Amino acid sequence: MPEPAMTAHRLLEQMNAGATTAEEIASQLIKKAEAAKTLNVFVHLDPDHILGQARAIDARRKAGQPVGPLAGVPVGIKDLLCVEGEPTTCGSKMLKGFKPPYDATVIARIKQAGAVLFGKCNMDEFAMGSSTENSAYGPTLNPWDASRVPGGSSGGSAAAVAADLVPLALGSDTGGSIRQPAAVCGVVGLKPTYGRVSRYGLIAFASSLDQIGPFAHDLKDTALLQAVISGHDPRDATSVDAPVPDYVAAVAQPLDRPRIGVVKEFFGAGLDPEVAAAVEAAVKIYEKAGATIREISLPHSKYGVPAYYLVAPAECSSNLARYDGTTYGHRAEDFSPKYPGEENLPPLLRMMMASRSEGFGPEVKRRIMLGTFALSAGYADQYYNKALQVRRRIREDFDRAFTEVDVLLGPTSPTPAFKLGERTANPLAMYLSDIYTITANLAGIPGISIPCGLTKSGLPIGLQLLAPAFAEETLFRIAAGFERETDWHLKRPHGG
């Protein structure tokens, strides 16, 4: 039996050759997940259901029936993607015990592709955070150093791949929530173009920013999963009806002298010197491989964080208004008056207030209040509408840049993984973890993080590439040129 710490494409080769089975792989990974329980990667793991899926794939393969492109490959699922009949909680007490009556479109597509759904991965509550410390189920630990965070909000998905508990995982990216954890966990993470992947069945944080994407160890695996989940979906009004290129073929294409823009604003104050050195070394590798390198300015990127933290909370305030204890989710048992004046409120309103107070964690409450304020009468023009104008300027900066270069390059995260608890008392320091990733979401363009180094203390460093809308094929081709020249994607925690 081969060690399932391998890539999805290697596992597929071995299963197709009869060297192993989906059940053997799943069984070994279940044992591995049990042994790695202290990492707190999974919030829900059902071994019997996992093995049942694997046996069904094995039976189809043995009978010579058609199997999909992910047949028998385990895939970790971020806990905000609806899976029919399976707990889906968004890392929140508010949705504890909720079991959706339907599958998200991406879940339906990976099921059709033959994947084995391998547990629900931990996350920051309602995808709000950069460290996976905001989960109602406790923090996930970074497999490279258990005293550090795995990034967020998709930290459980990134850590699951980094720890070789699954070869593939799905996450979501609202302001960097795939790319930043991918960087600090030493794996590949792709945020596709807004509209490339259906958001139907994704429990929303900020609807104009959220996008679902893959985690993997290498670009071939990333392309394999991205190809399965991409494409138009009539159930999502923002899903774009555009052809899906052959991403796996793009990974195998030669580099072909790309034009790469190094973003000047991504190398300012706050950038860790070791991260800067690793990214500068990556630029030299590209230059040696024949790329044309030039410096590019994105002048409005400095306004990305403030604009994002008005737009995203405003949308979150609207999206999370539905969680009021009336139809599903957490309902407070005691909603007797607790503060002066509450006795004059109707019981239904007191129940809603108590349910939301108990069900949401501090970060979610902070963002709901910020968003509600930004949308309130007299302040919308001053804050929210101004943020939308800045968002347009940011998009225009990217549009201009892509007339001169094929992709933009810079660090994914300003620092390696930070210590657990280091930024929990300082929301601004936490928000700045996504300073280089937020602008791609505001502009709706695709971005990828690939491993590009390790610090002296052995922590992963990520390189970010950004491309024009719907140019994921370009991202794969240019990222693969770097991957072929280096072995960072082969590194594992503790030298594994």
Active-site residue set: 78, 153, 177
d(C-alpha 44, C-alpha 122), whole Å: 9
Q: What count of Cα atoms within 13 Å lies in the side-chain half-sphere of residue 212?
A: 33
Give CA–CA dist 358/74, Å, rounded.
Answer: 35
Taking the C-alpha atoms of residue 323 and residue 328, their distance in angstroms, rounded to an integer, is: 8
Listed residue (143, 138, 17) closest to 72, CA to CA: 17
CA angle 352, 134, 380 (to 5 degrees): 60
Query: Is the distance from CB of 318 to CB of 208 less than 8 angstroms?
Result: no
Quick one: which H or E segment has residue 109?
helix 105-112
3-state secondary structure of 411: strand
What interhelical angle do 362-375 and 304-319 show, nearest 10? Answer: 100
Q: List, in sequence order, every residue forming a beta bridge with 74; answer none if it has no partner.
A: 116
Contact (CB, 8 A) for 438 and 464: no
Q: How many angstroms separate the Cα of 320 from the Cα of each of 359, 388, 420, 477? A: 11, 21, 27, 38
Instruction: Tell me whether the omega of the peptide bond preceding residue 153 falls within 30 degrees of 0, making it cis.
Output: yes
* List of residues 6+ apart from 119 with CB closer than 8 A: 33, 42, 44, 45, 46, 50, 76, 77, 160, 166
Nearest Cα to Cα of residue 80 among 121, 112, 132: 121
Q: 366: helix, coil or strand? A: helix
Positive or negative torsion for Cα 322, 327, 332, 335? positive
Task: Please give the span between the terminal C-alpha atoms of the chain, in angstroms, as a whole number.
Answer: 18
DSSP assigned state of 261: E
